[in-house]
Structure 1
Amino acid sequence: MGKQCHPLLSGRRKPTSNYSHGFSSAEMESLASVCDTILPSIPFEEKQVPPAGSNKALEYFYKASASQAPIPDEVAEIIVKRGLIEALILTRVILLILSTKLGTFLLCGSLCWSKKWPFINRFSCMSLENREKVLQKWFKHSFVTPIRVAFFYMEAVCLFVFFSRVDENGGNPAWEAINYHVDTDQNESYSQKERPLQKGIIEAVYETDKTLLQSFTQKGFKVTQHSEQQSVLKINCDVVIIGSGCGGGVAAAVLASSGQKVIVVEKGNYFTPSDYSLLDGPSLDQLYESGGILTTVDGKMTILAGSTIGGGSAVNWSACIKTPNSVLKEWAEYQKLNLYGSHEYVSAMETVWERIGVTENCVQEGFQNQILRKGCENLGLEVERVPRNSSEDHYCGSCSYGCRKGDKRGADRTWLVDAVNHGSVILTGCKAERLILERNNNGGLREKKCSGVIIKPLSNNITMKLLIESKVTISACGALLTPPLLISSGLKNPNIGENLHLHPVLMAWGYFPYSNSEFKGNAYEGGIITSAHKVVTGYSNERALIETPELSPAKFGVLCPWESGLDMKQRMLKYARTAHLITIIRDRGAGEVKLEGRISHKLSPLDKENLRAGLRQALRILVAAGAVEVGTHRSDGQRIKCKGISKKELEEFLDTVYPAEGAMSQQEKWAIYGSAHQMGSCRMGINEIEGAVDENGESWEAEGLFVCDGSVLPSAVGVNPMITIQSTAYCLSKKIAESLKKEQSS
């Protein structure tokens, strides 16, 4: 069944009357007043920043308030739909308390006093000035940490909704004021109707119980009704792969080309360049895990993970960096994993490099990368070109929402096309519920044997579940979802869900006004990552990697420390010319994920020192490039004006820079960490004590069950991991293919 443009990326919000968040009217009154405090209406004459857009646009922006309908309803809906249960409960309790006079007095003190009986105001009845003072106190003082967390959560969602929501024409009135526009250009050579995976795709969103059976039958798969459970369809294949990203896509291509009948199961949907809208709200909702609003349980780390056909490769920033030799040596010698010291792995990297069309030059760099390069050159620091899986003249700053130009060659446009061309079927909109594990009667070393997976379609039009029986089952749903699937299916290896590495990220920023004509364009334009600088001490001690990020207005607003409503609007007016540099570290600390959505992570002392070194270097680079102001996203609004600053004054400022703890800490100063790389949670090991899977990627507990994604990596890589994950998957799937061929010929 074909389609034109996927309606899920239209960008339109639902009518106000259809919200189902369940907040009471009292809670909504409090929430609206919180939103109004975070981003209030301000008299236009108070402007202190020259407009980037027209006076009319600037006037609208200053007068707009986040309390305007339907923004509070959308905030409530996201909190209910995407938030951790603890955050939801805490938020609703505090909003309910603030809806009463006594509760407001307990939380706000004398700021809620009134001159009229009964001399106490509810939070919503307090003046804007006093409400702002209350929020400033809560954000700063550690003795109200739970309240701080709740209001930080509301603030982040409020700003995200305000700057990401669009009208029926796909626009947001605030964007003109901050000089932001969505790039609607598209590669003219790319056909609007081209769907490279069409002949192998089965999309549950367009199927029913009857048509789903027919679709599999038409594609040559044996489908029968389950003998005991009539509500279950049984499908037979050689290999079932759960997940279609960097690991699953490669495995599907290799195994299908070796003659195996392969089914790929993907929770997300299938989109092509003509489907992408590049709009924050709908794109995050449909292309990312948990709608792009996923955090660790302590709220310290925000995590981005792809959840669509192609997985992370469809939404990543295109950086293609081979596994560093030092990491390969560590894995081969210290962890005794021969694969990473072999010619086979080096050859796999070259194969991957060629298949995804990596180019090593960039014709035109964007605003942020120009600044990174110039700052490094002025300081005499080495700056490297970052290879990308796109053409040399690719100038798309929105590939994190899918490459609308069709230039980036993710798994959806390479490996999965190969798989479909060799007869694979890709089933979208379906979630793996549990693996089918039985007692192993083959006399092997493993107690159990995996014979397939139970799949639940996410479409309301399908009532039946699917039982996919296979000779080999591969979990490739990523380091965040593979462990929960294995654990909920009954596996017990203690390494499953442990050793989670996230490549923690902190950012530094620098403001470059339009009067600085050396750097052309805006922060959101151009290739996302085309240059990088390694922070090195001594001869070879790499401490951090400095690159540039993609930051939409909504993400920028969430990251900015909130000091006042006026300050937030002034910061947003500088959005288009604020360059960001990210500090990525190879984390030695680790975390765990054993239940879906319950992620933890802890930095080691060395991690904190490396983050500090990276942040300080990033700020030096921004100053050297000519920024008029630089800072971090620490909660106290840490920043410094650069005009006329001496080297001594800069170093004194840098001495105050450190990686603050997250919002849940008892510290007055805290920061938001980010992560877009997840690794190691089902690591490979030479035995079941050292790892969850062996050197072939096979579970130590269940024969026929393999893991083929970033979770098998022994530790963090220290660089963007796409090439490492795909190369590892290539080697593992080659071994699986050889094993199946031997089995079939015997």
Structure 2
Amino acid sequence: MQKPFNRLQARMLKALTETLFHETPMAISPSQVVDNLQEHFSNIDGDKPKEIGLALYGLFLILGGPFFFLASPKMRQSLIRRRLQNTRVDLFQDIARTKGVILAGYYGHWEHGDEETNFDNPIYQRLKYQLPGQRDRSAPGELPIKREPRRDLKAEVFVGHDAIPETVDVIVIGSGAGGAVAAASVADEGHEVLILEAGYNYPSSRITHEEARMTARLFKDGALQTTKDRDVIVFQGRVVGGSTVINNGICLRMKHAGLVHPQAEDVYQTWANLGAPISETELTTSYEAVEGALEVSEISAISGRNNGPHLIDGWNKYAAQSTDPMDKQAISAWFQKNYGPKTPDSECVYCGYCNTGCPYGRKKAMPESFLTHATSTDRDKPARILDGAEATEIIWKTSSDGTRVAEAVDITLRDGRKRRIAARKGVVVAAGAMASSNLLINSGIENSGDGISLNIACPVVALMPEGQDMNVWNEDQMATYVDRGDYLIESHFQPPMSMATLVPGWFDEHFRRMLNFNRLVSAGVLFPADRLGKMEDGKLKLKVGEPELALLRRALATMTKVHFLNGAIEVYPALLKGQTLRKGMSDAEIDTFYEEAIIEPDDVVLSSSHPHGGNAINADPNKGVVDLDQRVHGTTNVYVTDASVMPSCIRVNAQLTTMAMSHRAMAGKKRFG
């Protein structure tokens, strides 16, 4: 294994580890943390390891160069507090986030071997955390932990890199929510379909609970992708099945009585006003078709037994004392998800690892549903999947009337080899909002990449009283939500490595918070950043402004009050400085705290798993990239079927709507003759 960090960088990692964990009883050594990080980053493709290495050089200079190595750990802490924790310099604030890398190297420690080998993992023992295979599921109503790999894609549906066809009928670029649904629809019409996926195939039989490795292999940039200014982390899957493999399976419609706030923005009307009059009736038909195929249903209460009710009960107490009609009409509910059917071999076993893939084969993500349908050998022309292949450009010819016709797609394989695959009938672009935009920009499509929206999340962790162990790691990561109309609150929790990067705080304070792992509860606010982004030089440029920050402050203050109302004694909002709020604060004091603590985006940890827009639907080619049928303006045979076609922010989780939009555009439409 070639180590991604050189001697100076490794020495910096070790010095930072010694400093961050100074005077704490570490369960593994600083040297082991460095070894973990060397291995972790060796599994990440692309330039992210190099970028982190450069950040380490920046830290070296900011913290005094060679003096940092010579200083005592206490002096190093003083330097870090002054120059990183309490800084207001944007560059220093960005570099301060490197702290999360150290935490991942410590809390992501994995003893080489299988799950059983890690039953005695020293980090897990210190946290009193149990891996799924250790958990007692003997009580009535509990579901046993058992792998069911029968729904995994079969090896024969994949195309080897030395057996790539020269020509196919239709090329579908992307295997996630939009691409898989489109591929199934096109294959149903009898066309020969080749599905391109930049990531590799990771069936449930290959997925483990080794957080660091799964994060490195299943996410774009190892889950460290950010906006261009590094203010927002953007999580996206890079695996066969796309982000459906590494999400929580949440299925919410843009508009749904009883599940969406009645006073929330009518997205259909917004789209119509923008020039994209999408029929609610038509899209509802597609919603229903997708929900039926995925067997979407409300999750069981046992799967989110502690963290889920904590949010709903706390919200009900908050709403009962509020005089705001938006609070009174807010929807609080259990999530609808694509696990099913509810049988012993298919129902979610609530292991808490959704975000690093389902090792139990329970979630009906794209590989277990639409990709299986598209590649079924029961049809004359089963679709095939070429993984480890990134589409780089669509090749055109021009018809007599000046319209572009796609005739081929250029791809780059993981080993650097380049190939060109001809398309007899057409191309479907569904690589995700950012990648699809980059592809169309590289292919000469004007206006692509503008108007990208994010649903931005910000976590709020809380500590319950001593003796009140919640053990919320032994349940579904995301169980319940509150739709307040202008923002949402979602219950969530993560396994140790991921949770350590969400729990704020520095030095021994962070360590103490993690030692109370069993007493932590958590939820996150979700707020819209509507059409603020654009692709620039291959990256998403998006600046969160004061209107968004004002909404965030209000939402975080509300979530803090909800935590306290349901018994929390301390609240840890995701702020760079790592401040603590304590029970007994008045509502006015909480409001004032957030007004003073959040001045700019760098003050708070923000992330998004829902980029959409960039290739908006619009009847006017001067205002959008695709027409009302989702065909690229000025072309005859290129369609876009992923979240990039959404003209504005849809406010809720985008998975189901992406699938429904793809179904609407492709199912039974005979787009390719």
Which TM bucket (shorter chain)? 0.7 to 0.9
Return the TM-score normalized by structure 1: 0.79
Following the alignment from structure 2 to structure 1, what is the Cα–Cα distance between the partners of residues 97 and 468? 36
Give the aligned partner of residue 499 of structure 1.
451
Shift of residue 83, structure 1, vs aligned partner: 3.1
Contact 2:152 2:367 in 1 (8 A): no
Residue type at the aligned position of 2:390: K
Residue type at the aligned position of 2:292: E
Over the matched positions of the two proteins, sequence identity in percent amounts to 20
Q: Which moved more, 1:258-267 or 1:81-90?
A: 81-90
Give the aligned partner of residue 316 of structure 1.
247
Shift of residue 143, structure 1, vs aligned partner: 6.0
Q: Which moved more, 1:264-273 or 1:246-255?
A: 264-273
- Map 1:163-562; keep pairs closer than 5 Å: 163-170=107-114, 171=118, 172-184=121-133, 191-192=148-149, 195-204=152-161, 209=162, 212=163, 223=165, 234=166, 236-324=167-255, 326-338=265-277, 340-364=278-302, 365-379=304-318, 380=320, 382-391=331-340, 394=348, 395-421=350-376, 422=379, 423-441=382-400, 443=401, 446=403, 448-459=404-415, 463=417, 465-491=419-445, 493-494=446-447, 496-513=448-465, 515-516=467-468, 521-535=470-484, 542-562=485-505
Inter-CA distance 579–273: structure 2 relative to 1 (3 Å threshold): same
Q: Does 1:156 align with 2:87?
A: no
Give the aligned partner of residue 709 of structure 1.
642
Following the alignment from structure 1 to structure 2, what is the Cα–Cα distance between the partners of residues 67 and 188? 31
Q: CA RMSD in A?
A: 2.8
Return the TM-score normalized by structure 2: 0.87
Structure 1 segments unaligned to the other structure (5+ residues): 1-13, 45-59, 105-120, 214-222, 224-233, 536-541, 742-746
Among 67, 89, 106, the residue aligned to 2:54: 89
Following the alignment from structure 1 to structure 2, what is the Cα–Cα distance between the partners of residues 173 and 361? 33
Inter-CA distance 81–128: structure 2 relative to 1 (3 Å threshold): farther
Inter-CA distance 706–90: structure 2 relative to 1 (3 Å threshold): same
Shift of residue 576, structure 1, vs aligned partner: 3.1
Among 604, 614, 630, the residue aligned to 1:681: 614
Following the alignment from structure 2 to structure 1, what is the Cα–Cα distance between the partners of residues 279 and 48? 43
Inter-CA distance 138–203: structure 2 relative to 1 (3 Å threshold): farther
Inter-CA distance 189–260: structure 2 relative to 1 (3 Å threshold): farther
Following the alignment from structure 1 to structure 2, what is the Cα–Cα distance between the partners of residues 26 and 617? 45
Give the aligned partner of residue 655 of structure 2.
722
Inter-CA distance 74–419: structure 2 relative to 1 (3 Å threshold): closer
Give the aligned partner of residue 579 of structure 2.
638
Contact 2:43 2:213 in 1 (8 A): no
Q: Which has the larger radius of gyration?
A: 1
Give the aligned partner of residue 40 of structure 1.
22
Contact 1:238 1:262 in 2 (8 A): yes
Residue type at the aligned position of 1:603: V
Inter-CA distance 262–636: structure 2 relative to 1 (3 Å threshold): same
Q: Which moved more, 1:273-282 or 1:653-662?
A: 653-662
Shift of residue 366, structure 1, vs aligned partner: 3.5
Query: SS of the counterpart of 1:543?
Result: coil
Contact 2:505 2:579 in 1 (8 A): no
Inter-CA distance 533–80: structure 2 relative to 1 (3 Å threshold): closer
Deviations 1:583-618 (A, max 9, x none): 11122351112433x222122433222222221221
Inter-CA distance 346–80: structure 2 relative to 1 (3 Å threshold): closer
Query: SS of the counterpart of 1:174?
Result: helix
- Map 1:652-667; keep pairs closer than 5 Å: 652-658=589-595, 660=598
Deviations 1:524-582 (A, max 9, x none): 221222211122xxxxxx2110002242322222233343x211211111223211111
Give the aligned partner of residue 133 of structure 1.
78
Query: SS of the counterpart of 2:434?
Result: coil
Contact 1:187 1:406 in 2 (8 A): no
Shift of residue 188, structure 1, vs aligned partner: 7.8
Shift of residue 718, structure 1, vs aligned partner: 0.6
Contact 2:570 2:580 in 1 (8 A): yes
Inter-CA distance 85–299: structure 2 relative to 1 (3 Å threshold): farther
Structure 2 segments unaligned to the other structure (5+ residues): 135-142, 257-264, 321-327
Deviations 1:61-89 (A, max 9, x none): 3x744675525645886899653876643
